[in-house]
């Protein structure tokens, strides 16, 4: 069953995040649509939602498997008055908010892997893609794309990531209402966003570290063909990943793909 956008919109009335809902059954990518709407002047808090994506995007030209009828694919339009280099902190903020929303329906621990993966039992249940449009003098808009596997069955995942992905249904043994989850997600996003605008990244960092999946683990980080290994040493005051090398020297990684190493 596709979404009932009217019912959803009425539940979100009065909210900052979700103040407007743009629903289409099928889109190429909710992030692409949201970027276009943002460019056309869409208000902060507008949520773009689809039942299915034909070209769901991950980072670095990767794709996000987005079949119909089972998952959440949404993008939130924000217009924060922050310097452009702080926009990546919103990815971490979104991770904390979505982890809280998931935790309301799933008793398993939801961990966050820097920068943008939510994991249950080490498998990816949600990916977040933040895209920013700058204008002279600062940020015009930030689009936070969230792909959450809700009722997808293991057999339906692409073989390429079947062993590394999961859904809420796989973890809890039951189906979940996508509408309730979207509502929860907007509800958890809003206070975190307000805290971030008012008090900066420090409280978000605390919330993020409390859910960090990487604590005590060895990581391999890939950025622009360069590989670095080390032990997770937290995240910096601006959200950069910190890893400690053999000698204990701390390196900052501002962007890249981190893999948690076994053993």
By CB under 6 A, residue 124 contacts ligand BT5: yes
By CB under 6 A, residue 141 contacts ligand BT5: no
**Stretch of residues binding ligand BT5 (CB under 6 A), selected from 79-87, 142-150, 213-221, 222-230:** 142-150
Measure Cα distances from 146 to 59, 138, 237 in Å: 12, 24, 24
Among 12, 30, 45, 170, binds ligand BT5 (CB under 6 A): 30
Give the angle subtended at the CA of 132 by the CAs of 18 and 257, to the nearest 5°. 105
β-strands 47-53, 123-135 pairing:
unpaired
Among 9, 15, 19, 65, binds ligand BT5 (CB under 6 A): 65
Strands, sheet with 138-148, edge to edge from the N-terminal-most edge strand: 21-27, 47-53, 72-78, 138-148, 123-135, 117-120, 110-113
The answer for residues whose C-beta is within 8 angstroms of residue 53's C-beta and 6 or more apart is: 26, 27, 28, 29, 30, 64, 66, 73
- Spell out, one character per residue from 94 to 123, where the chain touches ligand BT5: x when CB under 6 A holds, - when not: ----------------------xx------
User: How large is the greatest C-alpha to C-alpha distance in the chain, in angstroms?
Assistant: 58
**Stretch of residues binding ligand BT5 (CB under 6 A), selected from 73-81, 92-100, 170-178, 201-209:** 73-81
Among 42, 46, 165, 184, binds ligand BT5 (CB under 6 A): 165
By CB under 6 A, residue 154 contacts ligand BT5: no
Question: What does the binding site for ligand BT5 look like in residue numbers (CB under 6 A)?
Answer: 29-31, 53, 56-60, 62, 64-65, 73-75, 116-117, 124, 127-129, 145-147, 149, 161, 165
């Amino acid at each position: 069953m596709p979404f009932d956008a009217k019912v959803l919109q009425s539940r979100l009335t009065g909210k900052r995040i979700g103040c407007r809902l743009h629903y289409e059954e099928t889109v190429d990518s909710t992030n692409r649509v949201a970027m276009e709407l943002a460019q056309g002047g869409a208000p902060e808090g507008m949520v773009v939602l689809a039942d299915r994506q034909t070209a769901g995007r991950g980072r670095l030209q990767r794709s996000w498997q987005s079949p119909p009828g089972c998952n959440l694919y949404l993008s939130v339009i924000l217009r924060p008055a922050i310097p452009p280099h702080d926009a990546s902190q919103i990815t971490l903020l979104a991770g904390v908010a979505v982890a809280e929303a998931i935790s309301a329906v799933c008793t398993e621990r939801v961990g966050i892997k820097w920068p943008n993966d939510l994991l249950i039992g080490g498998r990816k249940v949600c990916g977040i893609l933040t895209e920013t449009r700058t204008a002279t003098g600062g940020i015009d808009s930030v689009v936070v794309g969230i792909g959450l596997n809700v009722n997808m069955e293991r057999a339906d995942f692409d073989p390429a990531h079947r062993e590394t992905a999961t859904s809420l249904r796989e973890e809890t043994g039951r189906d979940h209402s996508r509408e309730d989850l979207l509502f929860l997600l907007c509800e958890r996003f809003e206070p975190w966003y307000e805290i971030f605008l008012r008090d900066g990244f420090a409280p978000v960092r605390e919330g993020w570290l409390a859910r960090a999946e990487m604590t005590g683990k060895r990581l391999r980080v890939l950025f622009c063909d360069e590989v670095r290994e080390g032990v997770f040493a937290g995240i910096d005051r601006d959200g950069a990943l910190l890893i400690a090398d053999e000698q204990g020297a701390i390196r900052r990684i501002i962007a890249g793909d981190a893999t948690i190493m076994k053993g």
